[in-house]
Amino acid sequence: MLQQTPVNRVLPKWHEWMERWPSPTHLAAAASSDVIKAWDRLGYPRRALRLHESAQVISQHHGGEVPTTYEALLALPGVGDYTAGAILSFAFGKRAVVLDTNVRRVINRWHVGAEFPTTSLSKAERALAEELIPERSALWAGATMELGALICTSKKPACEECPLRATCAWRCAGYPAGTPMRTQGKWHG
């Protein structure tokens, strides 16, 4: 629910969902139309359908329990690297790489000295993130997400407020401008 949707919009929906469908098995038994209606105002309704499909797979192949391995999570509909890492880290307390846009930006500025990360995640970037994350990766990921969302922002970062400013490679290099971020084409429909 939190992918590309602010927490303040998700929380009320999350509580409604958990009240209505407290487990993957409950969600799996719901009609797709009910799932989409309940998703209202969160945007990207395809995410609701993937979540519903994942709940069905979890119910049918995992005894109703969310898988606890990276590989099993990746096999679920709509689950990619980020979501699998987030589930392992936040739900199960396992050490896992959680790389959203904000985390990638913080790591790139702090360690690489680049204003923005590359468009797609590279093996080197993933390896660097793997080196950086501590055993309690959920705390680190959450804090780094917040740092990127509130301080190390895409536009007008508040570098003087950043706790990493003394060791930030981008700051130490004099804030070199990076490659301009690609803009997404407008959709006309």
Residues 107, 61: one domain? Answer: no
CATH number, domain with residue 111:
1.10.1670.10
Mark out the alpha helices in the chain (DSSP H runs). 7-20, 24-28, 32-38, 45-61, 70-74, 81-86, 101-107, 123-132, 137-150, 169-172
**Domain of 157?**
101-172
The predicted-structure confidence for 66-112, as pLDDT tens digits, reads as follows 999 999 999 999 999 999 999 999 999 999 999 999 999 999 999 99
Q: List, in order, residues 6 or more apart from 189 with CB less than 8 Å away.
A: none
> Could you tell me the pTM of the whole model?
0.85
- Of all residues in the chain, what percent carry a pLDDT higher than 90? 81
Statement to judge: residues 63 and 105 lie in one domain: no
In tens, the pLDDT along 138-165 reads: 999 999 999 999 999 999 999 999 999 9
Task: Provide the 3-class DSSP secondary structure of residue 69.
Answer: coil
pLDDT digits (tens, 9 = 90+) for 3-44: 778 888 999 999 999 999 999 999 999 999 999 999 998 989
Looking at 47, 67, 87, the residue that finishes a domain is 67
The number of folded domains in the chain is 2
| CA gap 50, 134 in Å, rounded | 31
